[in-house]
A and B are shown apart, each in its own frame.
Chain A
Amino acid sequence: MSGAIEQPRFTCALGACQSVVAIKKGVPILHSGPGCGVQVSRIIGQGEGYAGGSTMPCTNSEEADVVFGGEKKLRNVVENSFKVIDGDLYVVITGCTAAITGDDVASVVGSFQEEDKPIVYVEEGGFKSNNYVSHSRVVNAIIDQYVDKFNEDREVIPGLVNVFASIPYQDPYWNGNLEQLKRVLEGIGLKVNILFGNESEGVSEWKSIPQAQFNILAGTWAGLDIVKHLKRKYGTPYLHFPYAPIGAKETSKFLRAVAEFGELDQNKVEAFIDREEKKFYSHIDKMASFMLEFRYGIPRRFYSLADASYSLGFSKFLLNELGIIPGIQFIVDDIPEKYQESVLEEFSKISDLQRRDVKVVFNPDAGLDQLELLEDAKDYEDKRLLILGSSWDKHIADELHADLLIISVPVQHRLVMNCGYLGYEGGLRVIEDIYDRVLATYR
């Protein structure tokens, strides 16, 4: 899609500065206009983090830089960033101004790299892509310009995996989700480089990326450029699980796929899955009577306005584990056309028992998506509806008296700390959160 967008639910290429904020002691340096950092924070930020928000160094381009170039200014800001901000890794990301005026960022940053400073650069320009795409470019730049320096004569560590899944901050539950993935993968016997957030060791962990036995991508398309790049560069094979695994059924499926791919000890894997499923379904057992017997309304049909990975993951979970039927799925992540067919195919397999035709709309202009949703909902006035979306969807949820679970940015109507929706525990959390919202509506 290249047209106008109402109600954006992602940001520009520069938004990948948040991926740097998500690395322990990572420091993004913006070579951009003065307002760019604020714009990123406003849609995907969750506080400052270590050196994000107002702490983030930025060249704050002005008219003279646009006319005469901003390389000297960048050199000053980089040089002083090392002095002022205590970081383990510095990542220069360029915005529109630098991209259009054509500053030679490679040469400026290159001179610091020659001094062995832990710094990399990504030439983006906000208009060049969005943060789903540029996240991969930032990760690859760190691998190529920094991690690779430490890769001489190092061997593959059996059982070590790099995991790429939630995009930090773009997925509001990234930290919790990555924690959950790490937990279940360790449960089946792997050593996990989770790379971002609290459960990562930080930059030292990144240094062992080339030594992984294999890489895992849990997500539809964003991040594919990373695992493909690692395959080309280090020959590391990768497993692509094409959506977010939520709840027992999908998490077990995910773990079995990983186990098969990595040729792990079958008994150990099945023992872990068995233990986790028993716990998970004991809770479902407890709440089944509520689901089946609750006298007043609970949602029976849902819409989502989300990225492809969540749209698929939540649809599979809600249908199979809670019996909530998918209505139109609006995929708003600007997914490139070449991946759209695979999403449709995955939706066609959503039920093991019958053919289900889930209507899928790929359109990041969510203002238009909402109009279509409202039109469709007219056919379901007898049903209580659930909307999985963002704060943009509060007003249609209010209008339809639908329940709203926020799973996408922008998030203004809830506070997120370590909540994660992936894995076994994440699935339980989804159930709690949905019915918490439903039950809170009763007097």
Chain B
Amino acid sequence: MSQINIKEPSVVIREKRLGTINAFTGAASEIVEQSAKGQLKDCKRKFSQCLGCNQQQAFCQLAMIRDAVVIDHAPIGCAGEFADFNFTYRVEQARRDLPPALGRYFCTNILEKDTVFGAAKKLEETIRLAYDRVHPNAIFVTTSCASGIIGEDIEAVVDAASKELGIPVVTCTCEGFRSKIWTTGFDAAYHTVLRGIVKPAEKKTNKVNIINFWGTHVFDDIVRRFGYEPQYIIPFSTVEELSHVSEAAASIHICPSLSTYMGAGLNQLHDVPEVLVPPAYGVAGTDRWLRAFGKLVGKEEIAEEIIKEGHEKYVPEIEKLKERFKGKRAYVTAGAAHGQALITLLGELGMDVVGAAVFHHDPVYDSGDDKLDILGQAVKNYGDVPDYRVCNKQACELVNALNRIKPDLILARHGGMTLWGAKFGIPSLLIGDEQFGIGYKGALNYARRIDDALDSIEFIKNYSKHASNPYTKWWFDQDPGYFQGDGSGKGCAQGRGGF
């Protein structure tokens, strides 16, 4: 279990806290085993492609707090994502029947002279400007590679501003170079919220924190059935609502890769218990999750009712669709826990998961509880995934693996990767909504979408004839893990490679 220390301004990075790695080649069972034994080693790559950074993951959690402002203390390039998240923010407002509002994001616009003479004054001015223009209830200051290397005392600036303006002004330390694991950015955002916004509980409420991105509100009916109120955090919360998340009765994870830190933080600091089983993906997974939640809130009989109803309502159709997936070979590419959840779903739907390119691997979560091990459960319930690779979102590794494995279906979760399935003429499916696959209905949702994807081959086959391919023949002749570690093609794992 990692110790959450909110006295420190910066979160401890994931590779130090959890031993997270971003390179592995082997079978899923091997990574599960080595995680449990603490044997995983990380290694460098001799070739790499654009990844993604802490700041972007931090920003996605902070940018949709409805009455807060985010200031990116950075050169203007780091603000490239502002518009993208504003678009998401506004589309999701409409889905939640919220009035239209603009995402209020400011960039301090660090220039060369600021790297020499200092940028602290610029930050001060930007905080004031943002406050005057928006009058937010909180201001978050995200840091960048440039501000990090200049190394000024940002804490002093925000503390002074907070006193002057009478609202929380809180830093979020998320320089891109700070952690090799981009999901450390989620932790950084949660650290910021735990440290600067969440207040000690004055009372306990019947709310349940659902720590998520901005997915569909699939937990409403379930949580209410148990007599609790769902509270989806952090996007679309207000500053006031966030200050009271400590009062909730429980926290739910939709993806432990996302919320391990927040769940543990609320538990350790404010005694909010977490539901510590893998998220409710697949029929068996949903049964297990409902029982765990029922047990946590002391209403196991309601869990049994929902399980019975769910099986009656959804399982027959799932079973029917499963017939059509028999013998189909599937491949998964996604962030860690969500990728493992997709493996679970595909296993549940009777497909043969032949490989996965997952972006990183957390051997353990902040709760320290091994019951959250999604992959371990998936391997136990549905069998091994022979080619499980931790690819650090390196497209070349995915492309190479796909070229060898030639699966019948690719399930992806992240832009820039799904494309490669289509280029090879393989039906590919990207579902952005993390909650789309949750519960019994979620399993059916996926089954239907997979059925559609497998059916809709005309475009894929036509496109693949004309798609560009920038990779060389030499690369396709190497093992996909060639650049992991010493160039042996076996990654950094102790285990064997192979398919």
Residues of A within 8 A of B (CB): 2-8, 10-15, 25, 27, 30, 33-44, 48, 50-51, 53-63, 65-66, 76-77, 80-81, 83-87, 95-97, 100-101, 125-128, 130, 367-368, 371, 390-392, 394-395, 398, 409-410, 412
Inter-subunit contact B76/A8 (CB<8 Å): yes
B475 within 8 A of A: yes
Given contacts A10-B76, A34-B176, 15 further A-B contacts (CB under 8 A): A8-B79, A35-B78, A43-B79, A43-B83, A48-B416, A53-B416, A61-B176, A61-B177, A62-B177, A62-B179, A85-B471, A96-B146, A96-B149, A368-B133, A412-B87
Known: A6-B104, A38-B81, A83-B472. A63 touches B177 (CB 8 A): yes
B297 within 8 A of A: no
Please pick, from B78, B150, B175, the residue contacting A126 in the complex, using a CB distance under 8 A.
B78
A-B contact pairs, 26 of them (CB 8 A): A4-B107, A6-B104, A7-B83, A8-B82, A33-B176, A34-B176, A35-B52, A35-B54, A36-B50, A38-B50, A39-B80, A39-B81, A41-B80, A42-B84, A58-B50, A62-B179, A62-B180, A81-B47, A97-B149, A97-B176, A100-B145, A126-B75, A127-B75, A128-B112, A391-B87, A410-B83
Q: Which of B56-78 contact A (CB under 8 A)?
A: 56, 71, 75-78
Chain B residue at minimum C-beta to C-beta distance from A100: B149
Binds A, one of B124-132, B152-160, B266-274: B124-132
Known: A8-B76, A127-B112. A53 touches B50 (CB 8 A): yes
In the complex, chain A residues whose CB is within 8 Å of the CB of B393: 54
B48 within 8 A of A: yes
Inter-subunit contact A127/B115 (CB<8 Å): yes
In the complex, chain A residues whose CB is within 8 Å of the CB of B71: 4
The 10 closest A-B pairs by CB, nearest first: A35-B53, A12-B77, A37-B50, A54-B416, A39-B80, A33-B176, A410-B83, A80-B47, A43-B80, A34-B51
Inter-subunit contact A395/B76 (CB<8 Å): no
Q: Which of B165-192 contact A (CB under 8 A)?
A: 175-180, 182
Please pick, from A12, A39, A85, A371, the residue contacting B472 in the complex, using a CB distance under 8 A.
A85
In the complex, chain A residues whose CB is within 8 Å of the CB of B471: 84-86
Per the bound structure, the CA–CA distance linking A37 and B415 in Å amounts to 13
Per the bound structure, the CA–CA distance linking A404 and B80 in Å amounts to 22
In the complex, chain B residues whose CB is within 8 Å of the CB of A95: 145
Q: Which of B448-480 contact A (CB under 8 A)?
A: 468, 470-472, 474-475
Inter-subunit contact A34/B53 (CB<8 Å): yes
Known: A33-B145, A84-B47, A126-B146. A13 touches B177 (CB 8 A): no
Per the bound structure, the CA–CA distance linking A254 and B90 in Å amounts to 41
Per the bound structure, the CA–CA distance linking A324 and B176 in Å amounts to 46
Which of A8, A15, A39, A48 has the most chain B CB atoms closer than 10 A to its own CB? A39
Please pick, from B47, B56, B75, B175, the residue contacting A77 in the complex, using a CB distance under 8 A.
B47
B109 within 8 A of A: yes
Interface residues on B, range: 35 or more
The 8 A CB mask of B107-118 against A (1 = contact, 0 = none) is: 111111111000
| Smallest beta-carbon distance B227→chain A, Å | 39
In the complex, chain A residues whose CB is within 8 Å of the CB of B86: 391-392
Known: A38-B52, A48-B419. A33 touches B177 (CB 8 A): yes
Known: A4-B126, A4-B130, A38-B50. A392 touches B80 (CB 8 A): no
B105 within 8 A of A: yes
Inter-subunit contact B56/A35 (CB<8 Å): yes
In the complex, chain B residues whose CB is within 8 Å of the CB of A87: 470
Inter-subunit contact A42/B110 (CB<8 Å): no
In the complex, chain A residues whose CB is within 8 Å of the CB of B55: 35
B100 within 8 A of A: yes
Per the bound structure, the CA–CA distance linking A30 and B52 in Å amounts to 13
Inter-subunit contact A84/B419 (CB<8 Å): no
Inter-subunit contact B76/A86 (CB<8 Å): no
B308 within 8 A of A: no
In the complex, chain B residues whose CB is within 8 Å of the CB of A4: 71, 106-109, 122, 125-126, 129-130
B231 within 8 A of A: no
| Smallest beta-carbon distance B389→chain A, Å | 16
Inter-subunit contact A84/B51 (CB<8 Å): no
Per the bound structure, the CA–CA distance linking A231 and B130 in Å amounts to 45
In the complex, chain B residues whose CB is within 8 Å of the CB of A41: 80
Chain A residue at minimum C-beta to C-beta distance from B180: A62
B483 within 8 A of A: yes
Which of B50, B71, B113, B178 has the most chain A CB atoms closer than 10 A to its own CB? B50
